[in-house]
Amino acid sequence: MTNEYVPPKVWKWEQPSGGTFASINRPVSGPTHDKDLPTGEHPLQLYSLATPNGQKVTIMLEELLALGHSGAEYDAWLINIGEGDQFSSGFVDVNPNSKIPALFDTKSLTRLFESGSILFYLAEKFGAFLPADPEKRSETMNWLFWLQGSAPYLGGGFGHFYAYAPFKQEYPIDRFSMEVKRQLHVLDEHLADNEYLAGDTYTIADMATFPWYGRMVAGEAYDAGEFLSVHEYENVIRWQKQIAKRPAVQRGLMVNRTSGPLEGQLHERHNASDFDTMTQDKLQG
């Protein structure tokens, strides 16, 4: 590296730094405009986008419905983060951190933000996907918190510098590639002896990890599968394929999705029938 950056004594935000998300990044919190959030008829109101963090929650909700928990019916409203929807006054009321996903339980008047917190709340509310056995419960929480701490390296670290930064830099790409491969190896070693992250039981830990590391080993993240040699992680690939076959997972991946094939995009979800009638190929056809 020939051009070394010399930090000033005091950092000041003077202009966007460039890159894909420069227009929505800022060093302060709070709303930028007044706008109420819409509310549907179901107890659970989800405000989200089909990023890996958003998909964790829609997968969980669809899995709960597949188990017969009718109280898990939900309205999923699209939050377009590229247009700054997450900075509306209504969204900030639910999530002061202005990140998706955010969930409001109209029955208990509970606001929820941070995807891991939402998964834990729903698991306890419905008594599903979080084992009662102390050992399996602890293992589930171990891996849930592992994911919550690890995913920023994959998304905000590797993904940013490899795919979204205004230009490529060797040092940060090497730094985060090393860490992502270490994390994949952690998963691969564990899944060599375990069907799921908590052993033989499918839990919220799998739902949280699948959209991030499952997507990576499937070659769907940042067009970086070959670069990171993801084929090496055979146990993670086996786990990813097993989860990807679940119908509830397939539905969850579609909700609030705005990219990819039109038949896989369900911008908003208000009823189970929307998967058959309201995908973008139907609406645009």
Domain match, 119 and 162 both = no
Domain match, 142 and 214 both = yes
CA distance 34 to 89: 5
Query: 22: pLDDT confidence band, cut at 50, 70 and 90?
Result: confident
Query: 5: pLDDT confidence band, cut at 50, 70 and 90?
Result: confident
Domain match, 87 and 162 both = no
- DSSP string of 117-166, one letter each residue: HHHHHHHHHHT-SS-SSHHHHHHHHHHHHHHHHHHHIIIIIIIIIIIISS
CA distance 37 to 35: 7
Whether 23 is in a domain gets the answer: no
Number of domains in the chain: 2
pLDDT at 16: 67
pTM of the entire predicted model? 0.96
pLDDT at 25: 86
pLDDT at 19: 75
Whether 162 is in a domain gets the answer: yes
Domain match, 209 and 270 both = no
Name the packing angle between helices 52-66 and 115-126 (round to 10°): 10
- Whether the per-residue pLDDT at 177 is higher than 80: the answer is yes
Domain match, 124 and 141 both = no
Q: Which CATH number belongs to the domain containing residue 277 in this structure?
A: 3.40.30.10
Domain match, 241 and 186 both = yes
- Whether the per-residue pLDDT at 18 is higher than 90: the answer is no
Structure tokens at 67: 């188990």
Domain match, 153 and 66 both = no
Domain match, 195 and 115 both = no
Q: Which domain holds residue 241?
A: 134-245
Q: Which CATH number belongs to the domain containing residue 196 in this structure?
A: 1.20.1050.10
Please write the tens of the pLDDT for every residue from 52-102: 999 999 999 999 999 999 999 999 999 999 999 999 999 999 999 999 999
Give the closest residue to 217 by CA, choosing from 188, 192, 194: 188
Whether 28 is in a domain gets the answer: no
Task: Find out whether 235 and 192 touch, Cβ atoms under 8 Å.
Answer: yes
Whether 27 is in a domain gets the answer: no
Domain match, 241 and 139 both = yes
Whether 16 is in a domain gets the answer: no
- Whether the per-residue pLDDT at 268 is higher than 90: the answer is yes
Domain match, 139 and 229 both = yes
- Cα dihedral angle (6, 12, 14, 18), rounded to 10 degrees? 60
Please write the tens of the pLDDT for every residue from 232-248: 999 999 999 999 999 99
- Whether the per-residue pLDDT at 21 is higher than 80: the answer is no
- Whether the per-residue pLDDT at 186 is higher than 90: the answer is yes
Domain match, 188 and 269 both = no
Whether 235 is in a domain gets the answer: yes
Give the closest residue to 275 by CA, choosing from 76, 28, 47: 76
Structure tokens at 183: 């994390």
Please write the tens of the pLDDT for every residue from 143-171: 999 999 999 999 999 999 999 999 999 99
- Whether the per-residue pLDDT at 1 is higher than 60: the answer is no
β-pairing, 110-113 vs 44-48, is: unpaired
Domain match, 111 and 83 both = yes
* More reliable by pLDDT, 210 or 285: 210
CA distance 168 to 109: 46
Task: Find out whether 57 and 103 touch, Cβ atoms under 8 Å.
Answer: yes
Task: Find out whether 17 and 26 touch, Cβ atoms under 8 Å.
Answer: no
Whether 29 is in a domain gets the answer: no
Whether 154 is in a domain gets the answer: yes
**For 253-271, what is the mean pLDDT?**
98
